[in-house]
Amino acid sequence: MFINFWYAAEQSENVTDKPVGVHMLGQDFVLFRDTSGQVHCLSNVCAHRGAALAGGKVNGDCIECPYHGWQYNGGGQCTTIPAASKDVKIPKRARVDSYPTTERYGLIFAFLGDLPESERPPIMECKEYGQEGWRATTIVFDWDFDYKRSIENALDAAHNEFVHTTHVDKKEGDPFRVPPLDLIDHDWGTSFHIEMPAPAMFEEKMRDTADRAEPSIFHIYAGYHGVSSFWTFIEPTPKFIRRQHFYETPVDVGKTRIFTVDMRNNMRDPKDDERMVYMDTLVMNEDAKVLLGIRPVLQPTTNIKENFVQSDSHMAHYREKLKEWEAVGWRIDQDEVDRNKMKVAYAISSPARRTSKNWTLDPVPLVPAKTGVTTSNIANLDRNVRERKQE
Ligand code: FES
Ligand SMILES: [Fe+2]
């Protein structure tokens, strides 16, 4: 798992006047809204004696710990210690990490890391959300598989006719041959375009939107962004476009919460939402059936423990990209976290730790950066790699 990316923490509508506990990257967080409606994301471990803040309550602009009532503002600073006499100054160390948040596409995103704003990788865009002519449906899935396996599945053009038998024709003796893919590099990921035979299962209404009676080619544009977001743009017919955005949040090792935001430019009647959700859930369940059985649960540390063929080239590319993000020192040292599981409460370093020392919790340990690779040059590094490949 990696720090220094934006992760979808919860659906906006689920954070109202009560604190909400969220587990991400193997750590606990609390989300709450202040009186102005601004949502905050704090480390869930009270700096007093470690109680879970999410079990407390929202008190004005603060979250109040359920144990002894310490209150923390949105910046993570303790503002009230009820049991202390009035003339005792609140120690500076009475604070918890506070993470930048933003609300987009009906979701609350938290930046789990310590990068200053100018260096943060952006959230994967969902341009059509809220735009005229588009309709959104959002589904949240919780799975016991690793997000990296899920991203690779999303990039996998060879699995459709075997996994999605409900809506993809399997032509015996004439399998779909994945053509060599032109990978398009982006600052924070890679994408490709592929044409596939149209699915057999077509909703009648979809057919109605086609220019031709029997659409034969299905255009798919897909790519990943950062460690755990990906998008799939499907054009079943020239007039029917679906743009699916998957914000995957690593909950813990081998546990993933997937927020899907699915945009469509046709069948926009709210009555059709149910059919869209049904179809998306059907497809997700088909993928999950395979993903839950893959071993090892995590990606092997070397590709020679699997057999990559030409149609897996974009997965290999994703793995290379992960190595780049590891080289800048963003990967959590999970072995160290696990070793200390029962005796150390960690917090992911928040941006404030860059400028201020003396925190109560230890920072989540990270795999050390490779010499000469710094967090401030990651985007440049990315571009350099791309330019080198183009030469
Ligand atoms: S543990 Fe939170 S106030 Fe004491
Ligand atoms: Fe799939």
More confident residue, 206 or 51: 51
Closest residue to atom 4 of ligand 1, CA basis: 68
164 lines ligand 1 (CB under 6 A): no
Beta strands in the chain (DSSP E): 5-11, 20-24, 27-33, 39-43, 57-59, 62-64, 71-72, 78-80, 98-99, 101-104, 107-112, 135-143, 184-186, 189-197, 217-225, 229-237, 240-252, 255-264, 346-347, 362-363
Q: Across residues 228-233, what is the average pLDDT?
A: 96
Atom index in ligand 1 nearest the CA of residue 53 equals: 2
pLDDT tens, position by position, 304-338: 899 988 888 888 889 999 999 999 999 999 999 99
pLDDT at position 377: 47
- Could you give the CA distance from residue 98 to residue 203 in angstroms, rounded to a whole number? 46
Determine the residue type at 212.
R
For atom 3 of ligand 1, which residue has the closest CA?
A: 68
For a substitution probing ligand 1, which of 42, 62, 70 has the most ligand atoms within 8 Å of its CB?
70
User: Would you place residue 207 in the very low, low, confident or very high pLDDT band (cuts 50, 70, 90)?
Assistant: low
- pLDDT band at 215; cut points 50, 70, 90: low
Of 287 and 182, the one with more pLDDT: 287
Ligand 1 atom 1 nearest Cα: 49
Atom of ligand 1 nearest to the CA of 56: 2
> What pLDDT shows up at residue 202?
54
Question: Nearest ligand to the C-alpha of residue 48?
Answer: 1
Of all ligands present, the nearest one to the C-alpha of 285 is 2
Question: Does the pLDDT value for residue 54 go beyond 70?
Answer: yes
pLDDT band at 210 (very low <50, low <70, confident <90, very high): low
Distance 296 CA to ligand 2 centre (A): 19
- Ligand 1 centroid from CA 56, angstroms: 10
Measured at the alpha carbon of residue 322, what is the angle toward residues 164 and 336, in degrees to the nearest 5? 110
Q: What pLDDT does 81 receive?
A: 97
Report the alpha-carbon angle 380-328-185, nearest 5: 45
- Overall average pLDDT of the 28-44 stretch: 98
DSSP string, 269-314: SGGGHHHHHHHHHHHHHHHHHHHTT-SSSSPPSSGGGS---GGGHH
Ligand with the closest atom to the CA of 83: 1
Q: Are 126 and 263 in contact (CB under 8 A)?
A: yes
Q: Is 18 helix (H, G, I), strand (E, B) or coil?
A: coil
Say yes or no to pLDDT of 204 above 90: no
Task: Look up the pTM and report it.
Answer: 0.93
Q: What is the pLDDT of residue 42?
A: 98
Average pLDDT over residues 37-49: 98
Instruction: Give kind and range of the element (H or E) at residue 316.
Output: helix 313-327
What phi, psi does 268 have (nearest 5°)?
-90, 0
Q: Is 80 in the pocket of ligand 1 (CB under 6 A)?
A: no
pLDDT of the residue at 351 = 98
Query: What is the reported pLDDT for 240?
Result: 81
Structure tokens at 340: 């200390």
Asked whether the predicted pLDDT for residue 383 surpasses 70, the reply is no
Q: Is residue 381 very low, low, confident or very high in pLDDT (cuts 50, 70, 90)?
A: very low
Q: Residue 287 is encoded by which pair of tokens?
A: 């993928």
pLDDT of 73 over the 60 cut? yes
Cα 274 to ligand 2 centroid, rounded to whole Å: 20
Would you place residue 373 in the very low, low, confident or very high pLDDT band (cuts 50, 70, 90)? low
**Pocket lining: 247 vs ligand 1, CB cutoff 6 Å:** no
Q: Which two tokens stand for residue 363?
A: 């920072």
| Cα of 32 from ligand 1 centre, angstroms | 17
The more confident residue out of 185 and 142 is 142
**Average of pLDDT values for 27-51?**
98
Q: Could you report the per-residue pLDDT of 344-360, keeping only the tens digit for each?
A: 999 999 999 999 999 99
Establish whether residue 67 lines the binding site of ligand 1, counting it when its CB lies within 6 angstroms of any ligand atom. Answer: yes
Helix axes 273-291, 147-154, angle to 10 degrees: 110
Tell me the residue length of the chain: 391
Residue 303: what residue type? N
Token reading at 117: 């704003």
Strand partners of residue 256 = 143, 250
Q: Give the ligand whose atoms come closest to the C-alpha of residue 82.
A: 1
Question: What is the Cα–Cα distance from 58 to 54, expressed in whole angstroms?
Answer: 9
Residue 17's CB is within 10 A of a number of other CB atoms, namely: 9
The CB of 48 under 6 Å from ligand 1? The reply is yes
pLDDT for residue 391: 47
Instruction: Indicate if ligand 1 lies below 6 Å from the C-beta of 345.
Output: no
Q: Which atom of ligand 1 is nearest to the CA of 50?
A: 1
User: What confidence tens digit (pLDDT) does each residue in 127-161 have?
Assistant: 999 999 999 999 999 999 999 999 999 999 889 88
**Cα gap 137→284, rounded to integer Å:** 14
pLDDT at 277 over 60: yes
Residue 55 Cβ < 6 Å to ligand 1: no
Q: What is the mean pLDDT of the chain?
A: 90
* CB of 65 shorter than 6 A to ligand 1: yes
Report d(CA 18, CA 58) in Å as an integer. Answer: 6
Distance (Å, whole) CA 78 – CA 47: 9
Q: Is the pLDDT of residue 389 over 90?
A: no
> Which residue among 28, 44, 48 is best mutated to probe the pocket of ligand 1, counting the most ligand atoms within 8 A of its Cβ?
48
Q: Can you read off the two tokens belonging to residue 84?
A: 């202390």
DSSP state of 375: G
**Spacing, Cα 52 to ligand 1 middle (Å):** 8
State mean pLDDT over 217-221.
83
Give the model's pLDDT for residue 239: 77
- DSSP assignments along 325-389, one per residue: HHHTT-BB-HHHHHHTTTT--EEPPPGGGGT----SSEEPPBPPPPTT--GGGHHHHHHHHHHHH
What pLDDT is stored for residue 171 in this prediction? 66
Q: How confident is the model at residue 371 (pLDDT cuts 50, 70, 90)?
A: confident
CA-atom Rg of the chain in angstroms: 23
Best of 30, 44, 62, 65 to mutate for ligand 1, by most ligand atoms within 8 A of CB? 65
Strands (E), 34-100: 39-43, 57-59, 62-64, 71-72, 78-80, 98-99
> What is the pLDDT at residue 347?
98
Q: How confident is the model at residue 235 (pLDDT cuts 50, 70, 90)?
A: confident
Contact 84 CB / ligand 1 (< 6 Å): no
Mean pLDDT of 267-282: 93
For 181-242, the DSSP string reads P-PEEETTEEEEEEEEEPPS---HHHHHH-SSSS--EEEEEEEEETTTEEEEEEEEETTEEE
